[in-house]
Amino acid sequence: MDIQAFSDELIHYGRQERMQDLAILPSGTQMEVIFSKSYLRKTYQVLTNEEAQQLITRFKFLGGMEVGERRKAQLGAVSYPLGDQLQRLRISTVGDYQGRESLVMRFLYPLTQEHLRYFFAEDVQQIQQATKQRGLYLFSGPTGSGKSTLMYQLARATKGQIITIEDPVEIEEPRFLQLQTNLKIEQDYDELIRLSLRHRPDLLLIGEIRNKETAQAAVRAALTGHRVFATIHARGVAETKTRLLELLGTDDRLAHALQGIIYQRLLPNEANEPHGLLAYHFYEGQVEKQWQHVLKQVKESGWISDEVYEKEAPATTPCN
């Protein structure tokens, strides 16, 4: 088997069919190549263990991963060349107890309105309006639910400096300053969040809150007057806050930092095309109400411009 030609074939097919994931998984004494999109799951081809390992090794090499490490879980990413185009891929590998390595690869598509479809498009507009103020906004949902895509869509409508911190960078955006964690040089989420605040970003995107240190750093960033978007895995709006509290322990600062929770799932419509379904809740405390009152006073007195008022006024979008 020509591994390079076969890998090109797989990526071309996945892109053409707008697949979400490509997996290479053990199946008895063989390995299966499986594509998935929404609730659709299709076995593309069955490989020998040797063929599958060669294919996995190629993708790991392209993704900047440790080729010789087969048991430890690894993450990588690559912009895969297809003719005059590039297909962005996020790669995850892990080995089982028998030493067989498996791979799951996510297809990441450019952010265009054509491919960002929601059952209720007005929800995105309301969320856009409600997330303009400083504070922490959590985007939750299961793996593959489009959390990062929604964050990037909202961020692209933001003026000023935008910094992203990810592991790895999933969606390439030339206008953003995109940072990637690197444990070899001690650049984890916590360290990069601290460093990024010195650049005074208008918006800070955190790829995922996975542990206590990252959760604390995200809350600190929000409390120091920054606008912060972050993803977290949770089963619903209520569970999102519970999950963050589990990571933080008892932390009264969360009540002051957390401004909103957006929960998203991708569900297939009747044509089996994935569409986003959103639920969200935003918080408005007494301090925010008082701030809105005094800010309105100085605006009506002509002491600040409409632009400054719009940027500083708390959002008044109703909660869902």
Tokens 């639920």 correspond to what residue? 279
238 neighbors 244 (Cβ within 8 angstroms): no
User: What is the pTM for the complete model shown?
Assistant: 0.80
Which tokens is 195 given?
């460093």
Mean pLDDT along residues 138-152: 90
Instruction: Tell which phi-psi region holds residue 115, choosing left (phi > 0), alpha (psi between -120 and 50) or beta.
Output: alpha
Gap between the Cα atoms of 88 and 120, Å rounded: 27
Phi/psi at 195 (nearest 5 deg)?
A: -65, -40
Cα separation, 77 vs 193, whole angstroms: 21
Cα 158 to Cα 303: distance, rounded to the nearest angstrom: 25
Residue 316's pLDDT is: 47
User: What's the pLDDT tens digit per position in 45-104?
Assistant: 999 999 999 999 999 999 999 999 998 999 999 999 998 999 999 999 999 988 899 999
The answer, yes or no, to whether residue 285 has pLDDT greater than 60, is no
At 167-176, the pLDDT tens digits run 888 888 999 9
Contact criterion met (CB below 8 Å) for 257 and 135: yes
CA dist 23 and 90 (Å) reads: 12
Phi, psi of 35 (to 5 degrees): -105, 150
Q: What is the mean pLDDT of residues 189-214?
A: 92
Q: What tens digit of pLDDT does each residue of 104-114 get?
A: 999 998 776 44
Residue 270: per-residue pLDDT: 78
Among residues 209, 142, 151, 141, the alpha carbon closest in space to that of 176 is found at: 151
Band (pLDDT 50/70/90 cuts) for residue 317 is: very low
In DSSP terms, 163 is beta-bridged to 177, 204
Q: Which residue shows structure tokens 């879980």? A: 73
pLDDT value of residue 314: 58
Task: Give the pLDDT band of residue 115 (cuts 50, 70, 90).
Answer: low
Residue ranges of domains in the chain, CATH in brackets:
3-108 (3.30.450.90), 121-283 (3.40.50.300)
Q: 203-206 and 227-232 as β-strands: parallel, antiparallel, unpaired?
A: parallel
